[in-house]
Structure 1
């Protein structure tokens, strides 16, 4: 039979391998997600406003970007 020390050692090694593996899997998933769905930038906002028939001013673009950053920083309310 295995001693308690070996069981604890195997559990710690399995936990460490799982944490490292999970980190790399999550990182790969996020990289792929950001490639498919890039975050909105000023050029995208400009293009969207022009498609809606608005003439985007720099002030309005910067204001919308700031609003989006503020929204991203706040936790969602239910």
Structure 2
């Protein structure tokens, strides 16, 4: 085999691997976010009510902002 063909095959394999990896990672993240959705206002309100606290809008916004700042 000539060196040019080997290099061409290596480049094609690298590109196919990169594209395949991208789509596999994308599918994994979509499934993960579907099973474990990020916390939203309604979930936070329900959690606070289950702990016996009466959530005010100001308190919920503060907690969401704190969680956003941590990430």
TM range (shorter): over 0.9
Runs of 4+ in 1 over 4 A off after TM superposition: none
Matches within 5 A, 1:3-42: 3-42=2-41
Q: Which has the higher helix share?
A: 2
Q: Structure 1: which 5+ runs fail to align?
A: 73-78
Q: Cα RMSD (Å) of the superposition? A: 0.3
Aligned positions, number: 71
Question: Aligned to 2:64, what secondary structure does the other structure show?
Answer: helix
TM-score (norm 2): 0.99
Residue 59 of structure 2 corresponds to: 60
Find the aligned partners of 1:22 and 1:60 in 2 and give their Cα distance: 42
> Scaled by the length of structure 1, what TM-score is found?
0.90
